[in-house]
Structure 1
Amino acid sequence: MSYDENQPSARPRRVGRGNLTIAIAALVPTALAGWLVWRAMSGPEGNEPPKVLPLPSRQTAGKPGPAPSPSPRASYPAATSAASPSPSKGNSSGPLAGKVVVVDPGHNPGNFRHTSEINKLVDIGTNRKECDTTGTATNDGYTEAEFTFDVSQRLRALLEKQGATVKFTHANDRPFGPCVDERARIGNKSGAAAVVSVHADGSAVGNRGFHVILPALVKGGAADTAKIVGPSRDLGERIAGKFVRATGSAPSNYVGGGTGLDVRKDLGGLNLSTVPKVFIECGNMRDPKDAALLKSSSWRQKAAQGIADGIGSYLLR
């Protein structure tokens, strides 16, 4: 998933050293805070943020463009467990027994072949927005949809081992979608204790790192996030801290002012949620260094572990 520069929340933000240290102490877990303090003391000078560039190969909102070519491309082994959109029960004696978690693999491999369908507008509460997008891809054609489904399967296996009941929003068996409003409804109807939407970003070369997207306080139409803003922030902060520890990856250097957290009000999947929910952008598929990590099976396992650890920390708080 990449950013529309017309959205205020999409613009990179950078804060001064003093303010950043204060924000870190208040917002992020110890593991993430330690990294950020070091970054604040040794990072680049100046307050001018880098520009997030649009990608011509990205299917952006309402602007169809050429899809990244899937060939030639390397073969990236996927997780072996099969996914199912119906709940899958875990170890009944595990610490997360009785907890329902919804995992939302971002995008769908078929979206590239159904651009007219995914460009249809749906109600996201505050306005209308495209059903979905194609997602992004690495330069050699490893798509975001492939990445998100692989990490989601790994994540499910880890959560089930701890006893959680895991539900997917889709099992890669649909021609396209589901749309963002349907993804939100699946989480709501399941009564999930937590929902995590797995993504990878598509930004400019040099923009690196992960970030967790949190719901803003919005109210309009079917959208009312008042009850989930606080819990979702707690969930997001815990995932960010555990993700640093598990993967060794740094928080984004282009979104979130170095905190690894970004608050947005333009995402229907968050606006329409009535249960705690966050998105995680695991890295930038368009940066060669980040792409090398995202294409690594062992790194994807670490990414899944970090997300699982964050969810577990939140559910057992």
Structure 2
Amino acid sequence: MSYDESPQPARRRFGRHHLTVAVAALVPTALAGWLVWQGTGGSDGAGASAATAAGSASSASAPASPTATASGRTAAPGDGAPGGAGPAGPLAGKVVVIDPGHNPRNKDHPTEINKKVDIGTTTKECDTTGTATKSGYAEAAFTLDVSQRLRTLLARQGATVSFTHDNDRPYGPCVDERARIGNKAKADAVVSVHADGSASGNRGFHVILPALVKGGGADTSAIVGPSRELGERIVGDFRRETGSAPANYLGDGTGLDVRKDLGGLNLSTVPKVFIECGNMQDSADAALLSDAEWRQKAARGLAAGISGFLEN
């Protein structure tokens, strides 16, 4: 209802009808003020339900505002994603096996690690103790540290990550078993993490690729191509993240080396590479490998290379 706002006679008196209309006009205004007072704490909550109802009614016709949803959130295993959401992210559904080279306790089991195993084309020792810096920082400790950092980075991107060992075995595993672990997992990529023990003055990192091998139980024909692609991506990203140069003592500056004498590569049926992150026998490289901040950079470089390969 609207009111006639045209001029009225100055001496006109209000009758009962006019008074009723005036009061009716004031009621909604008074009620609205009372509800606001109640909703802002003007009482001990006696009018809270009325205020809430009024607010709900007024908002029902308003456009819905954007809200965050679980589907827009990158979740990783164990990160507390809402509703118990599983892994999500660019690597969701991908399986990566990380192979930390050697084992810190290999040195306590010389008989077991020296036992020969079949690598497809010949036999070789089950495993070795690995190298160490001159100050005593062991390659086996280095490889576990970088591998654990790498696992965290890949899991955050949604990958399912497995280890060949996590310092949970008395020795090994042997090189043939390391290959079988990746094969059994049907891994999309396997990376074996190492550090070299070359002569002092030999510096830099390199990635070892599988050669074309056919014989005995070895056949790398299906993995040579994709393994090279994985290796090339790792070389570029590892160099960028760490600032280290490719090895100056092999690979002609490419950071790549092809070998046919490694059981972990010969027996693999899934894309796999080794990386020698630096030379522990060179003092400059050893200083980098011993630095936790640099090891995090190394893990980032590996994660970037693996991600680039898997997302391609």
Query: Shorter-chain TM-score: which interval?
Result: 0.7 to 0.9
RMSD: 1.1
Paired residue secondary structure (1:286): coil
Match of 1:146 in 2: 141
Q: Secondary structure, in 3 states, of the residue corresponding to 1:92?
A: coil
Deviation at 1:302, TM superposition (A): 0.2
Tell me how far apart the structure 1 counterparts of residues 238 and 105 of structure 2 sit (CA, whole Å): 29
Amino acid at match of 1:313: G
Structure 1 CA distance for aligned equivalents of residues 166 and 156 of structure 2: 20
The two structures have a TM-score, normalised by structure 1, of 0.72
Q: 2:202: which partner in 1? A: 207
Q: SS where residue 252 of structure 2 aligns?
A: coil
Distance 2:131 2:181 in 1: 24
Matched, 1:165 2:160: yes
In structure 1, how many angstroms separate the alpha carbons of the residues matched to 2:233 and 2:273?
11
Q: Pick one of 99, 106, 111 that aligns with 2:106.
A: 111
Cα shift readout 1:93-127 (whole Å, capped 9, x = no counterpart): 21000000000000001111111111110000000
SS at match of 1:109: coil
How big is the shift at 1:173?
1.4
- What is the match of residue 285 of structure 2? 290
Indicate conservation of the 8 Å contact 1:89/1:163, yes or no: no
Is the Cα–Cα contact under 8 Å of residues 103 and 196 in structure 1 kept in the other structure?
Answer: yes
TM-score of the superposed pair, with normalisation by structure 2: 0.73
Alpha-carbon separation, structure 2, partners of 1:257 and 1:230: 20
1:125 aligns with 2:85: no
Q: Is the 8 A contact 1:89 1:164 kept in 2?
A: no
Cα–Cα, structure 1 residues 89 and 233, in superposed 2: closer, same or farther, change >3 Å? farther
Counterpart check, 1:259 vs 2:254: yes
1:190 maps onto 2:185 in alignment? yes
1:204-251 alpha-carbon deviations (Å, 9 max, x no partner): 110000000000000111100000000000000000000010000000
Write the deviation string for residues 121-179 of structure 1: whole angstroms up to 9, x where unpaired: 00000000000110000001100000000000000000000000000000101111000
Q: Counterpart of 2:246 in structure 1: which amino acid? A: P
- Contact kept, 8 Å, 1:89 with 1:165, in 2: the verdict is no
- 1:181 Cα deviation from its structure 2 partner: 0.2
Residue 237 of structure 2 is matched in structure 1 by: 242
* Displacement over 4 Å in runs of 4+: 88-91
Higher normalized contact order (CA 8 Å, seq sep 6+, divided by chain length): 1
**How far off its partner does 1:275 sit?**
0.1
2:216 aligned residue (201, 218, 221): 221
| Distance in 2 of aligned mates of 1:173 and 1:274 | 25
Q: Deviations 1:10-37 (Å, cap 9, x if unpaired)?
A: xxxxxxxxxxxxxxxxxxxxxxxxxxxx
Q: Residues 210 and 304 from structure 1, CA distance in 2 versus in 1: closer, same or farther, beyond 3 angstroms? A: same
Specify whether residues 122 and 89 from structure 1 end up closer, same or farther in structure 2 by C-alpha distance, changes over 3 A only. farther
**Max radius of gyration: which structure?**
2
Q: Which residue of 1 aligns with 2:170?
A: 175
More helix as a share of residues:
2
Name the aligned partner's letter for residue 252 of structure 1: A
C-alpha distance in 2 between matches for 1:258 and 1:275: 26
Residues 109 and 146 in structure 1, CA contact (< 8 A), matched pair in contact too: yes
Alignment gaps of 5+ in structure 2: 1-76, 80-85
Deviation at 1:89, TM superposition (A): 8.0
Q: Secondary structure at the match of 2:92?
A: coil
